Amino acid sequence: MCGLAGIIGPKPSEAELQKMLQTQKHRGPDHNGSYLDEGYAALGHSRLSIIDLSPEANEPFVDNSRRYYLSFNGEIYNYRELREELKSFYHFKTASDTEVLLAAYIKWGKECLQKFNGMFAFAIWDSAEKKLFAARDRFGVKPFFYSEVNAHLYFSSEIKALKNVIFDSPPNQKVWANYFSYGSYGMPAETFYENISQLPGGHLLEYSGGKLKSQKWYDFESRVKKVPKNLPFEEVKELYLDLLKDSISLRFRADVPVGFNISGGVDSSLLLALVNLFEDKKHINAYTFYTGDERYDELPWVEQMIATTQNPLKKILFLADEVQDVARKISQQQDEPYGGIPTLAYSKIFEEAHKDGIKVLLDGQGMDEQWAGYDYYQNSGSTIQGTGNISPFRPEVLDPDFAALARKPEYPQPFDNKLQNLQFRDLFYTKIPRALRFNDRVSMAYSTELREPFLDYRLVELAFAQPQEFKIKNGTGKYMLREILKPLVPERISYAPKRSLQTPQREWLEKELRPFVEKQLHHLKNSQAGAWFDHREIQKEWEKYLAGDNSSSFHIWQWINTSLLFSR
């Protein structure tokens, strides 16, 4: 993975471009490059070398005609197959997926996007036509932020790079109000800052003559409706497993060491089992975190799985006394609110992998959304970082004028049944966009690439299209997935219940982290966001929490997280 940056307009500043690149240098410490088309464009790139480590693959990458310049973040996993298809059209000078991407665009134009199996955000500058073409992968694994300021388009991989050169980017109070009132992290094109937008997953952007046009290129709804219906259970299971093996195989394409993250759940257990079916991939490093609290730790489940495969397991202990320093670092990396202490613990995996020289990690994100693994797909309601039916939000602590900005988010319902509409919401509006943003920032904070084999679009489309009885049976979600896993591992693992809490966040905030919480609440009162709250009400809620009203801790985390983001 890498960091891309650019400025398109009549006076693109090389100094501003370099400032943007330096701000996100952690995304690509191996090479820093730039291209200037005087009076039209400045394109920059920070490289994390994964495929073709040679200097010839550095970016911005120029094609053989020296007309097109590319800055690319991500991976095109099927680049070898596409290279074969393109070799009679284009003379390749590197072995990189970067050059394949550019050649594909030159041959097929925007239709090249339909041919890519990968995670990507990229920008191509046409120096002849003076046009920019940019795109983001289907589910938005890789980020693309942009802002139009003073007749210029600025874009980058991280918000902080834009904020470093665009000083008029105050908080988007509507998005913040929705976050506190409903737990929303914004709609697909929004960020938590005014004047800074993001290109939604599955969308492309064109910019020329000062005019910006964005459009959807990935029509998930239409593709799902074309998946063959009424296939027998066993046939779907076999087809899905074959695709899953292919997806994992593709995501092992790298010229650097690869490892993977594992928890005690069904998803990462399946990933572990399938990885070890490949003879040349057996015994690669597995990473997991634990806190020493048996109520939350998944370590016993992880060790049961590892016992069957004998992979080297790196166990990373995350303790309460690390939270304060790690929270500051990760808040700086995230730029926007994130999930809580589990995200901090997860970040330690990437720090450890980086120390071990592992540049690529695989992860099990995406199965719950495609195979209906969350409880609320069967029952109404859910909480965040809590238990029971108590709301995780405390809108009553908000200033009335600020609270009035909140609007409960409404999401499209393109399918004819409740289950698929919930899955669609989670894939494109809530769960997946949020998790992918958290994961991108924590992995790149330690210059490590994260790959998500379960988010191969072929898998998601096939699973999503299946009837409800293939997904949920006798009150158990991810039914077909568990049946796929059953012959590969002990049944107690394949039918293990979902465990959503992985750290003792509620207990730590009340006890070990109490001084930290109270310090951040004080900072919040005096921060730029201070006027959004009634701080006497916050104090009352904190005292209630300490007195035992702590079935949910998410509201406490929201205030801490906001304080950290605004006290830098």
On whether residue 401 sits in a domain, the answer given is no
* In contact, 320 and 508? CB cutoff 8 Å: yes
Write the CA distances from 95 to 109, 303, 355, integer angstroms. 21, 39, 27
pLDDT at 198 over 80: yes
Q: What is the pLDDT of residue 386?
A: 38
Per the document, the length of the chain is 568
Are residue 144 and residue 184 in the same domain, yes or no?
A: yes
**Using CA atoms, how far apart are residues 239 and 521, in angstroms rounded to an integer?**
52
Are residue 357 and residue 372 in the same domain, yes or no?
A: yes
pLDDT in tens, 461-517: 999 999 999 999 999 999 999 999 888 876 666 666 655 548 999 999 999 999 999
Segment holding 421, helix H or strand E: helix 418-428
On whether residue 243 sits in a domain, the answer given is yes
On whether residue 399 sits in a domain, the answer given is no
- Mean pLDDT over 235-251 rounds to 96
Are residue 479 and residue 545 in the same domain, yes or no?
A: no
Are residue 289 and residue 374 in the same domain, yes or no?
A: yes
Write the CA distances from 212 to 14, 123, 206, 516, integer angstroms. 22, 14, 6, 45
Picking from 29, 30, 50, the residue whose alpha carbon sits closest to that of residue 119 is 50
On whether residue 392 sits in a domain, the answer given is no
Confidence of residue 127 (pLDDT cuts 50, 70, 90): very high
CATH number of the domain within which 295 lies: 3.40.50.620
Are residue 123 and residue 238 in the same domain, yes or no?
A: no
Question: Which of helix, strand or coil describes residue 562?
Answer: helix
Q: What is the pLDDT of residue 25?
A: 95
CATH number of the domain within which 165 lies: 3.60.20.10
On whether residue 538 sits in a domain, the answer given is yes
Residue corresponding to tokens 């550019």? 102
- Mean pLDDT over 31-55 rounds to 94
* Mutual angle of helices 457-464 and 233-250, in 10-degree steps: 160
pLDDT at 447 over 60: yes
- Mean pLDDT over 244-251 rounds to 95
**Using CA atoms, how far apart are residues 382 and 533, in angstroms rounded to an integer?**
25
Picking from 157, 124, 133, the residue whose alpha carbon sits closest to that of residue 205 is 133
**Using CA atoms, how far apart are residues 269 and 439, in angstroms rounded to an integer?**
19
Are residue 66 and residue 151 in the same domain, yes or no?
A: yes
SS (H, E, C) 37-93: ECCCEEEEEEECCCCCCCHHHCCCEECCCCCEEEEEEEEECCHHHHHHHHCCCCCCC
**Using CA atoms, how far apart are residues 448 and 258, in angstroms rounded to an integer?**
10
Domain extent for 332: 222-378+408-494
Q: What is the pLDDT of residue 266?
A: 85
- Mean pLDDT over 73-89 rounds to 98
**Using CA atoms, how far apart are residues 289 and 350, in angstroms rounded to an integer?**
11
Are residue 470 and residue 484 in the same domain, yes or no?
A: yes
Structure tokens at 47: 């490289």
Are residue 146 and residue 198 in the same domain, yes or no?
A: yes
**Using CA atoms, how far apart are residues 68 and 91, in angstroms rounded to an integer?**
15
Q: What is the pLDDT of residue 355?
A: 95
Go through 259-273 and write b for each residue having 16 or more CB atoms within 10 A of its CB, e for each that does not: bbbbbbbbbbbbbbb
**Using CA atoms, how far apart are residues 437 and 460, in angstroms rounded to an integer?**
19
* In contact, 60 and 71? CB cutoff 8 Å: yes
Which of 441, 461, 494 is the endpoint of a domain? 494
Which of 167, 184, 218 is the endpoint of a domain? 218
- Mean pLDDT over 31-37 rounds to 96
**Using CA atoms, how far apart are residues 323 and 341, in angstroms rounded to an integer?**
7
pLDDT in tens, 396-419: 999 999 999 999 999 999 999 999
Paired with 476 in beta bridges are: 473
Q: What is the pLDDT of residue 385?
A: 37
pLDDT at 289 over 70: yes
On whether residue 23 sits in a domain, the answer given is yes
On whether residue 387 sits in a domain, the answer given is no
* Range in 97-106, 119-128, 350-359, 559-568 the model is least confident about: 559-568
Which of 470, 494, 518 is the endpoint of a domain? 494
Is the pLDDT higher at 502 or at 81? 81
On whether residue 386 sits in a domain, the answer given is no
Give the burial class of 226: count Cβ atoms within 10 A of its Cβ; 0-12 exposed, 13-18 middle, 19 or more buried: exposed
To the nearest whole number, what is the mean pLDDT of the chain? 93
Other C-beta atoms closer than 10 Å to the C-beta of 333 total 22
Domain count, the chain: 3
353-358 LR contacts (CB < 8 Å, sep 24+): 353/259, 353/285, 353/287, 353/314, 353/446, 353/448, 354/446, 354/447, 354/448, 356/259, 356/285, 356/314, 357/257, 358/257, 358/258, 358/259, 358/285, 358/448
Are residue 365 and residue 418 in the same domain, yes or no?
A: yes
How many percent of the chain have pLDDT more than 70?
95
Picking from 281, 419, 434, 424, the residue whose alpha carbon sits closest to that of residue 360 is 281
pLDDT in tens, 375-397: 999 975 544 433 346 789 999 99
* In contact, 311 and 286? CB cutoff 8 Å: yes
Q: What is the pLDDT of residue 268?
A: 86
Q: What is the pLDDT of residue 305?
A: 83
Are residue 214 and residue 228 in the same domain, yes or no?
A: no
Are residue 241 and residue 370 in the same domain, yes or no?
A: yes
For 503, which DSSP code? Answer: S
Confidence of residue 522 (pLDDT cuts 50, 70, 90): very high
Q: What is the pLDDT of residue 498?
A: 58
Picking from 537, 528, 531, the residue whose alpha carbon sits closest to that of residue 555 is 537
Are residue 415 and residue 526 in the same domain, yes or no?
A: no
Q: What is the pLDDT of residue 264?
A: 76
